[in-house]
A and B are shown apart, each in its own frame.
Chain A
Amino acid sequence: AQRVTQPEKLLSVFKGAPVELKCNYSYSGSPELFWYVQYSRQRLQLLLRHISRESIKGFTADLNKGETSFHLKKPFAQEEDSAMYYCALSPISGGYNKLIFGAGTRLAVHP
């Protein structure tokens, strides 16, 4: 079964501390993986996708096919990073962008 697991509901850190938001997936193939973010009173929006191998707002994520993980990392957290983060998978087979979301992790960055 296709599934995305985010084991932490809440991650609480202090400003300047490193952040790692965990994401594990279950999929019998090579999926497309994404991180979406929802800031307070804003819409859900794309943060980054693994295919682009990009760094957005200091965040990076590496796809580890052996561990079936796609953890989101940032070396120094900022207060403005406080938000809800969702890991999502899109099955490549079938060709349609049908996202499967994890339950989300709330990141709280304290001053």
Chain B
Amino acid sequence: NAGVTQTPKFQVLKTGQSMTLQCAQDMNHEYMSWYRQDPGMGLRLIHYSVGAGITDQGEVPNGYNVSRSTTEDFPLRLLSAAPSQTSVYFCASSYSHTTSYEQYFGPGTRLTVT
């Protein structure tokens, strides 16, 4: 199993550009989520999904869209990039949405918006 994969690893955008961060998992996990990590702060939840066709907002959803058309994929879309979205983005998945299950993280995407 590849686990959770993320592409690209690095990306530089100009303000106003849009892009999609890809996330895929091959563990047939029900629950997937996106976090961002900024210097000196812990990871913060952007959006999450408890199954195909079901998504919801986390703590910092503004400026981001998600969709979950398949169990495997959970892309994160930046509609109009802003310098405040410069961050490291982590995708995670879990067997179940219930609280005690371990979350498996991807390697991260480092995004810089100039």
Contact = CB atoms under 8 A, between A and B. Distances in A.
Contact of B97 (A44, A95, A99): A95
Interface string B48-63: 1010000000110000
A44 B90 contact: yes
A49 B97 contact: no
A103 B99 contact: no
B105 interface: yes
Contacts of B98: 95-97
Give the one of A6, A95, A96, A103 with max B CB within 10 A.
Answer: A96
B107 interface: yes
A49 B101 CA distance: 9
B44 to A, nearest CB: 7
B31 interface: yes
A24 interface: no
A45 B105 contact: yes
Count class of interface residues, chain B: 20 to 34
A43 interface: yes
Contacts of A103: 40-42
Interface string A91-103: 1100111111111
Contact of A96 (B43, B50, B90, B104): B50
Nearest to B102: A46
Nearest to A93: B99
A43 B91 CA distance: 11
B100 interface: yes
